[in-house]
Chain A
């Protein structure tokens, strides 16, 4: 197996009195699609934000491309952000900007090239997410599914090596869910993008995953391939797979 490109080693994280992670360890390998499942409020988004340096671990370390980013100052994060993009849960589009300016935002920040090059790239990624010609629209004119797709176009515009997806299909209709799943797969197949997908959606999990990691009791309790996951006797994991999500008691716990 090749060297992992992202590593989480013994990470601890708390918010005030609430401990989110006690001893979290996870390796992510180049080219794979890893999904992270776990009940609501178990800090799945926090893990993604630590992977791209938006949040910092209290203890332990997060290593990206061989660099420890745990205590890296913000101004030295630029190269990391060029390689690791994140799709936020709500899309997190900038309301005041058009779709075009939203997608151009990272291109401008990372110095993509001339205005014409950027225009071409914007058209290209909007085509990829199935929204060609939507450049002039404002985010308020888009549906939830379209926002997520524009958000995805914005994330992949700079050709990152890794895309982190925070619940990419939550709240979408089945057609949009299938479309997003297809996009995750085609990014991996066509461009070799590494994906880390946080989701509740078992369809997504079994469609896109190479490996599955389960968050339980403030750590990664299980990591394995799809077959290993199906075969794993862990009762919580089986109830999650069967029910699409954990039981209510688990969710609240």
Chain B
């Protein structure tokens, strides 16, 4: 029990150290823009369809739930208000991060993990370079930049999904819905979700790379790292989300 606790603390410590080194490496010029662009492409262009699909359908389902839940109180007119708030502040950032994180983070873990077991990470060091600067920093930067963009897209799709359901089921006009959403949503709500998404992007990038760098034991180890990355990433995102939500609500209050 004690050794397991120590292992967990050691692991968390090494994650924090890696995060610190990645930030330091990303802040230091000259940055490797080519590597960042490749990673931006992989993380963002490859993930946008996932975010679109997830949020359009979740926005629609959420609206359906609100319509049926609010109907008995004659309050289904307010569906647009509630759904858009829920989507923009909570669902879009978290769902996008979880889905993109599962996809991108496990990819990082697999790629960096195979580089570890093929001695390529050792080779980077032996050739006089820093694996954190070469491998981790471009990926973390790409995720951190891309996540807010994906979340903005997800916000839009989520609200659109909700709009389709609400206008059809409650019988309000699209104009009424749009006005309601614009009335309800303040810039601060959007910002709330976007601030979260910046942190989520960082978490996705750093946990994927971290799991990859800790890979041991051949191809089997790479497989293990790939699945582990999804779990580590999800846990890290959920914890970050809880803490950030609390923190942001305190700030806003």
A interface residues, Cβ below 8 angstroms from B: 49, 52, 54, 74-75, 77-78, 81-82, 85-86, 88-90, 92-95, 105-106, 109-110, 154, 158
Contact = CB atoms under 8 A, between A and B. Distances in A.
Contact of B120 (A52, A94, A110): A94
Contacts of A109: 127-129
Given A74-B125, A85-B126, 18 more contacts: A49-B122, A54-B125, A54-B126, A77-B125, A81-B127, A88-B122, A88-B123, A88-B126, A92-B120, A92-B122, A92-B123, A93-B123, A94-B120, A94-B123, A105-B127, A105-B129, A109-B127, A109-B129
Contacts of B183: none
B71 interface: no
A109 B134 CA distance: 11
Instruction: Please name the 6 residue pairs, one residue from A and one from B, whose CB atoms are nearest each other, closest first.
Output: A92-B123, A109-B128, A106-B127, A92-B119, A81-B128, A88-B119
Contacts of B128: 78, 81-82, 106, 109-110, 158
Nearest to B125: A54
Nearest to A49: B122
A40 B90 CA distance: 55
A90 B119 contact: yes
Interface residues of B, number: 11
B234 to A, nearest CB: 28
Contacts of A94: 120, 123
A89 B119 contact: yes
A75 B123 CA distance: 15
B64 to A, nearest CB: 46
A52 B122 CA distance: 10
Contacts, number: 47
A89 to B, nearest CB: 7
A85 B128 CA distance: 9
A74 B120 CA distance: 17
B130 A74 contact: yes
Contacts of B119: 88-90, 92
Interface in B74-132: 118-120, 122-123, 125-130
Contacts of A75: 130
Contact of A86 (B120, B126, B129, B130): B126
User: Taking each of B119, B125, B129, B130, which has the highest tally of chain A beta carbons within 10 Å of its own beta carbon?
Assistant: B119
Contacts of A158: 128
24 contacts: A49-B122, A54-B122, A54-B125, A74-B125, A74-B130, A77-B125, A78-B128, A81-B126, A85-B127, A86-B126, A88-B119, A88-B122, A89-B119, A90-B119, A92-B118, A92-B119, A92-B120, A92-B123, A93-B120, A94-B120, A94-B123, A105-B127, A106-B127, A158-B128
A111 to B, nearest CB: 10
A64 to B, nearest CB: 13
Contacts of A52: 126
B128 to A, nearest CB: 4
Contacts of B127: 81, 85, 105-106, 109, 154
A9 to B, nearest CB: 22
Contacts of B125: 54, 74, 77, 81
A110 B127 CA distance: 9
A89 B129 CA distance: 19
Contacts of A88: 119, 122-123, 126
Interface string B115-157: 0001110110111111000000000000000000000000000
Contacts of B129: 105, 109
A119 B175 CA distance: 64
A158 B126 CA distance: 12
A75 B126 CA distance: 12
Contacts of A81: 125-128
A54 to B, nearest CB: 5
A90 to B, nearest CB: 6
B7 to A, nearest CB: 11
A92 B118 CA distance: 6
Contacts of B120: 92-95
A158 B127 CA distance: 9
Contacts of A95: 120
Interface in B156-186: none
A89 B120 CA distance: 11
A77 B124 CA distance: 13
Nearest to B35: A96
A172 to B, nearest CB: 17
